[in-house]
Amino acid sequence: MSDSSSTSTPNKLPECWGHRGASAAFPENTLASFERAIRDGAEGIESDVHVSLDNVVVMFHDPTLDRTTNGTGNIRDQNWYGPNGMEYLRTTKEPQQPIPTFAQTVELLMKVHPSSVLPPHTLILPSLASPRTA
């Protein structure tokens, strides 16, 4: 005798992904790009994360700031906070956007969007910058 209550369907991965968000409409890996991907029907977003010198986790594809922002250098060598902090950088692609932190991205994903209450949006982080060595 089998108990149907003990069978469960495995969690399915999303079928529609926002790679770096909706990067055709907004600068890649920004809150605007992530939100647009969700509103356009993406079931998950894919992004990379890096850790700043002062240990803030940021959503960013490249290990350096040069390609997509008005900043330069390695993320791991930059502070997030402070007068020259990455929190003040903006994307070079219009509309200019700040670099989001991981915490800001999670906050965005936790918002309830009328068209997408269930299932919760998935965030895939394929790579985390390697830990700093002392």
Known catalytic residues?
19, 61
Residue 116: both structure tokens together: 């997408």
- 49 close to 125: Cβ distance less than 8 angstroms: yes
Q: Are strands 122-124 and 57-59 parallel, antiparallel or unpaired?
A: unpaired
Estimate to the nearest angstrom the gap between the alpha carbon of 54 and the chain centroid: 19
Q: Give the CB-side neighbour count of residue 55, counting CA atoms within 13 A.
A: 0
Task: Fill in the DSSP letter of residue 4.
Answer: G
**Of 63, 46, 31, nearest to 132 (Cα)?**
63
